[in-house]
Chains A and B, each alone.
Chain A
C-alpha cells in the first residue's frame, strides 16, 4: 500500500538477525534476544551470543511497560540524515533498561525540551507509528519524574 504520510527519515531495516525486535516494535512491544546458555540479553540482536559465543538464542517479550535511565546523550543542531531537518535540535540517548542496566537502547528522547535532558533522567519507552505498518521505539520522560 502507499504511505499515507511521507516519512523522510530512515525506516529501521529488518534483517535476518534483528527482525523479531522490529516485529515486536511494530506491535508496540519490546522483545529482546537472550542467550539460551549464559542467559544474558543480546542487544542489538545477532547471530550468536557476544558474551559466550553460543549460537543458541531465544527471544523474550518484555511487553509495553518499559522503563530506563539516560546513560549518555547528545544533542545535534544539524541534520546528518534526511528528515531530521524538521526536528532540530535532535536528542539521541543511550538508555539503560531498569530491569537490565547492561542493556543499552539507543533512541531519541521525545516530548522533552533538549535543555532539560540530563544523564540519570528516568525514561519510559513509547512507540511512534512512522508508516502504516511500522513503529519506532522512542524514549520519553517518565511521568513519575518530579
Chain B
C-alpha cells in the first residue's frame, strides 16, 4: 500500500491562456501549460520521465505527442479516459510509481477546447451514448443526457430531505464569483454576481441556472510531481502530498438508481485516514464545483458541515476569504475556468506556497489544504496537501 506521508511533492504548476475560442489545438495549449509548469519548477523537459493525461471522448492530445514536441523522452506515458477526480487518480499513480523507484518526475496535464470543441453532455450521438453509458438505455430515451440532469436528480432529493434551498446554492456561486474578482485570469473577472441577479436567473434544468454551472472554456493545465528529495532542488516551494483517496466508487455503476449516496461519502474517511488529519485541521480548500450543489454535498461528505447544514455554512460566508474554509479562491470552475478540476488544484498549490502573500487573495498563513475531485456521484477522489 502506498504511504503518502509527504514523500512526494507538487513542484510546478502552469496553465495556458483560457478563452471561449482558442483558435488552436489541445496540443498547443498543453505545450503552453507544460512549459509554464516546468518554468515554475525550474526544471527542463528532459527532467520528466513520466507524462500522464486524462481526457473525455478524445478531446485532448496524447502524452506521447506532448512529450515529442516538448523535447522530453519519458519512459512512461499514460492517457486515461476520465473527467473529474482524474487529477487525484493520476497524482496517486505518479506517487506510487515514484515510490516504487520506477519514475522520478511526472508531468500531469489536462488540455481541452472545452468551449470551441465538443462539450460534455452536448453534441454526442444519442445511440452511441446509450451504448457507452452504463444503463444508458434506461436514461437517454427520457431526455436525460446532461450531467446537470443526472446530478440534479441527486440535488432535488437532497434539497427536499434537508431543506436546502435555491438561495443556498446561490451562496456558493456568489462566494466563488467574489473570488474571481480578485483573479484577473478568471474568465468571469469583472463580472460579479449578487443574490438578486442569481435568483432572477431562470433555471436551465432544476435546480440549476447558468450560474450554478461551470464555465466551459478552452484551456490546458499542468502540474509536476516529484520525490520530496528532488523537490528540495526545485525553484519553487514544494507542496507535499500528505494523503490521498485516489478514486472511490458509488455502489452501482448505474448510480442514478441510488440518489442518496455519492462516491465522495466513501472517499472522505479513506482520505482522512491516509493523511492522519481531521476536517478541522484544514485551512483552505479546492472543492470540485462543476455545479453549485456538488459543493454543498461534498462539504457534508468531507465533514465540514453536518447533513443539511452545508447551505447555512456557505450562507455564513465560510467559503469566502476570512471564512472558516476559504474555497476555490481563484473563482473555481463556476467562474475561473473548467479543466475537470485541475485548475482548482493549481490554485490550492499557489495558496499553500503563499504565492499571493501581501495581497487580499492570500489565505493567511495556510498550511493544510484539501482538494476534492468529483467525476459524478459515481466516482470521487481527494487529496490533502501541505506546505
A interface residues (Cβ-Cβ under 8 A, vs B): 9-15, 18, 22, 43-44, 50, 71-84, 87, 90, 92, 94, 103-108, 119, 136
In the bound complex, how far is the Cα of B145 from the Cα of A78, in angstroms?
A: 11
Contact A74 B153 (CB under 8 A): yes
Residues on the B chain within 8 Å of A44, using CB:
135, 137-138, 254, 257
Flag if A75 contacts B256 (CB, 8 Å). no
B130, B140, B202, B259: the one within 8 Å of A72 (CB):
B259
- In the complex, the answer to whether B203 meets A72 with C-beta atoms within 8 Å is no
* Chain A residues positioned under 8 Å from B257 (CB to CB): 43-44, 94, 103-104
Contact A106 B205 (CB under 8 A): no
| Interface, chain B (partner A; CB < 8 A) | 121-122, 126-127, 130-131, 135-146, 149, 152-154, 156-157, 160, 202-207, 251-252, 254, 256-259
Rounded to whole angstroms, the CA-CA distance of A14 and B121 in the bound complex is: 22
Nearest-Cβ distance from residue A49 to partner chain B, whole angstroms: 12
Number of A-B contacts defined by CB within 8 Å: 110
Q: List 23 A-B contacts (CB under 8 A).
A: A10-B126, A10-B140, A10-B141, A15-B137, A18-B137, A18-B138, A43-B257, A44-B135, A72-B160, A73-B156, A76-B146, A76-B206, A80-B121, A80-B146, A87-B143, A92-B143, A92-B144, A94-B257, A103-B257, A104-B256, A106-B139, A106-B144, A108-B142
- Give A130 Cβ to nearest chain B Cβ, in Å: 8
A125 to B288, CA, bound (A): 37
Apart from A12-B130, A80-B144, A92-B149, what 9 extra A-B contacts exist at CB < 8 Å? A13-B136, A15-B131, A22-B137, A50-B252, A72-B160, A73-B156, A74-B153, A80-B145, A94-B153
Residues on B with beta carbons closer than 8 Å to the beta carbon of A87 = 143
Question: Please, which residues of chain B bring their CB within 8 A of the CB of A74?
Answer: 149, 152-153, 156, 205-207
Summarize A's interface: helix, strand, loop or mixed. Answer: loop
Q: A10-B126, A72-B156, A94-B257 are in contact. Are A81 and B137 (CB under 8 A)?
A: no
Residues of the A chain whose Cβ atoms lie less than 8 Å from the Cβ of B206: 74-76
State in angstroms the CA–CA spacing of A11 and B144 once bound together: 13
Give the docked Cα–Cα distance between A72 and B127 (Å): 25
Closest to B252 in A: A50
Q: Which 7 A-B pairs have the closest CB atoms?
A: A72-B157, A10-B126, A76-B205, A44-B135, A74-B152, A84-B143, A13-B130
Which residues on A sit within 8 Å (CB–CB) of B251?
A: 50
